[in-house]
Amino acid sequence: MSVFEGVNWLQLLVTAIAMGCIYSLIATEYTLIYNATGLVNFAHESFIVLGAYIFAGTFERALQFPHWLAILLTLVSMAAFGVLVASTILNPLRNLQFVTYAMFGTMMLSRIIIEICRLSWGSLPFTVKGFLRESISIGSTVLSESYIYIIIISVIVITLLQLFFKFTKAGKAMICVSQNKDAAALMGINVTASINLTVAISSVICGIVGILCAPLYNVSSNMVTSAATKGFCAGVIGGFGSYPGAIIGGILIGLIEQFGIIFIPSVWKDALSFGLMIIFLLIRPGGIIKRKKA
C-alpha cells in the first residue's frame, strides 16, 4: 500500500490554506508598519499575544461577555494600544541613527508586553471554551470550524484593507507616507497622524490574529512564536513591503509545510519554512513580487 493512499488531501488543503491565511495576516500586519515607519516590528508577536489575552483572559474568562461584544471590545482596545505604542515608542525609534537600535528597541518592547501579560493573566495556558471548537463533516472529511472562520475572516480583512487604501483619503495618505515621507508632509499630509493610524490598524489585525489563534493554539505567552516567525518568512518569500506578496507568501508557506511533512519527518516542519526563506533571501531577495522602489 502506498503511504499516500490513506492521506486525506482535502483536509490537508483546507488546513494549509487556513494556516497560510494566518501567516498572510501576520505578514500584512507587519508590512503595514514597515511601510509606514521603515521599521520591522519585532514586537508583533507580543501584540498578537496581547490581543489573545485581552480577548480570552479579560473579556471572556473574567467578564464573561458574549463573543461578539468581547471581540469588538478587544479590537477597540488593540486600536487604542496601537496609537499609544506608535506615539510613545515607534515614533522616537524610527528617528534613531541606526536601524539596529530600533530593532533592539522593538525586541525589548516585545519582552515587556509578554511579561506584562504573564503578570496580569498568570502563566498558565488556558482556552476559551465553546469558541470555534466545533467540527463540520463534509463526506468523509471532518473540518474544524476555526479553519473555516480563519479563511473567511482573512479574506474579509484583506479585502477591506485594499478598499481602504483605494477609496479613502486616510488610506491614500498612508500609501503616500509609505512612499515618501518628506513629499507627503509637503503635500499637507500629517505624517505622524498617518503613522498612528497605520499602527492602530496593524494592532487591530494582530488582535484578530490573536482571537483566531486562541481556539487553535490555546492562550499562552508563546502561543504564536513559530507562527509569528513564519509570518516573517511569508513576507520575505512573497516580497517584502508588498501586500499581495504577503498573501502569496503566506499561502505558499502554509501549503509547503503541510504537504512537505508528508514526505519528510515531521520534526523538520519549521526548518522547511526557514530554509525556504534563506534560499529566497540568497537567490531572490526581492521575493516573488518585487516591490517597485520609489
Radius of gyration of the chain (CA): 19
Nearest to 41 by CA among 53, 31, 50: 31
Output 66 or 285, the one with its CB closest to other proteins.
Answer: 285
Nearest to 273 by CA among 238, 243, 223, 240: 238
- For the CB of residue 109, give the shortest distance to other proteins in the complex, in Å: 6
- For the CB of residue 31, give the shortest distance to other proteins in the complex, in Å: 12
Output 80 or 112, the one with its CB closest to other proteins.
Answer: 112
Q: Please tell me the distance from the alpha carbon of residue 237 to that of residue 252, in angstroms, as a whole number.
A: 9
CB 145 within 8 Å of CB 133: yes
SS3 label, residue 206: helix
- For the CB of residue 15, give the shortest distance to other proteins in the complex, in Å: 4
Output 93 or 173, the one with its CB closest to other proteins.
Answer: 93
Output 171 or 287, the one with its CB closest to other proteins.
Answer: 287
- For the CB of residue 76, give the shortest distance to other proteins in the complex, in Å: 25
Nearest to 93 by CA among 38, 167, 25, 159: 38
- For the CB of residue 171, give the shortest distance to other proteins in the complex, in Å: 24
CB 200 within 8 Å of CB 23: no
Output 189 or 248, the one with its CB closest to other proteins.
Answer: 248
Output 78 or 117, the one with its CB closest to other proteins.
Answer: 117
- For the CB of residue 129, give the shortest distance to other proteins in the complex, in Å: 8
- For the CB of residue 59, give the shortest distance to other proteins in the complex, in Å: 18
Output 107 or 152, the one with its CB closest to other proteins.
Answer: 107
How many C-beta atoms lie closer than 10 Å to residue 290's C-beta? Answer: 14
Q: What is the DSSP string of 14-59?
A: HHHHHHHHHHHHHHHHHHHHHHHHS---TTHHHHHHHHHIIIIIII
Q: Please tell me the distance from the alpha carbon of residue 266 to that of residue 213, in angstroms, as a whole number.
A: 21
